[in-house]
A and B are shown apart, each in its own frame.
Chain A
Amino acid sequence: EAEVAQSPRYKITEKSQAVAFWCDPISGHATLYWYRQILGQGPELLVQFQDESVVDDSQLPKDRFSAERLKGVDSTLKIQPAELGDSAMYLCASSLSRDEAFFGQGTRLTVV
């Protein structure tokens, strides 16, 4: 069964270091989402791609976060420098346009 792949599953990093997460969506899915989920809360959208174009990054802290999807397939989310408040679960999801969204297992980030 096709699934969204994310790596790493867990990441511990020191404050002020750089960290990157990778996501490989389900083949053929044009829409790719990056969400951040703080413990006990619902996911919040950071950035949404349609193919290789960003369609929404209004909640992405652009001074430290960046995201790219160069060939419209897999995607990387980067944080530099990491802050203590960035500790959270980072979730990637994909969908055919305007259809059911499928999520990966997420990357649990701990900033110390």
Chain B
Amino acid sequence: KQEVTQIPAALSVPEGENLVLNCSFTDSAIYNLQWFRQDPGKGLTSLLLIQSSQREQTSGRLNASLDKSSGRSTLYIAASQPGDSATYLCAVGSYNFNKFYFGSGTKLNVKP
């Protein structure tokens, strides 16, 4: 079974800092990987999807990279803002019907 780990579990940074969130997975035979944002008590908002053949994806201040061989993905957030405060989850999609396996998330707090 695919195991997904996110480190750190929580992160607090001052506004304006660039930061990196980490996601690691045990089985490198993945179909895709998706990063989500979750605000307290809400559903998940898709941020970026990386297909297994891709190395990175960018959207605004967000950049996600994928290294299948080492079982790692990173989410880079540039010039962080208080509005970025949320929990960030990574989900690994399997070849078998694209079943998603989630990590426990990184809770980010950006201080004004």
Residue of A with least CB distance to B101: A45
Write out the residue numbers on chain B whose beta carbons fall within 8 Å of the beta carbon of A89: 41
Q: Looking at the complex, which one of B42, B96, B97, B102 makes contact with A43 (CB distance below 8 Å)?
A: B102
Q: Is B34 an interface residue (CB 8 A)?
A: yes
In the complex, the answer to whether A91 meets B98 with C-beta atoms within 8 Å is no
Q: What is the interface of chain B, defined by CB distance below 8 A to chain A?
A: 4, 31-32, 34, 36, 41-46, 49, 89, 91, 93, 96-105
Write out the residue numbers on chain A whose beta carbons fall within 8 Å of the beta carbon of B46: 100-103
- Alpha-carbon gap, A50 to B42, bound state (A): 25
**In which size bucket is the chain A interface?**
20 to 34
Write out the residue numbers on chain B whose beta carbons fall within 8 Å of the beta carbon of A43: 44, 89, 91, 102
**Min CB gap A39→B, angstroms:** 10
11 sample A-B contacts, Cβ–Cβ < 8 Å, listed by A number: A6-B43, A31-B97, A40-B104, A42-B102, A42-B104, A48-B99, A56-B99, A95-B98, A98-B32, A98-B93, A103-B44
Given A40-B104, A101-B91, answer yes or no on A45-B43 (Cβ-Cβ < 8 Å). no
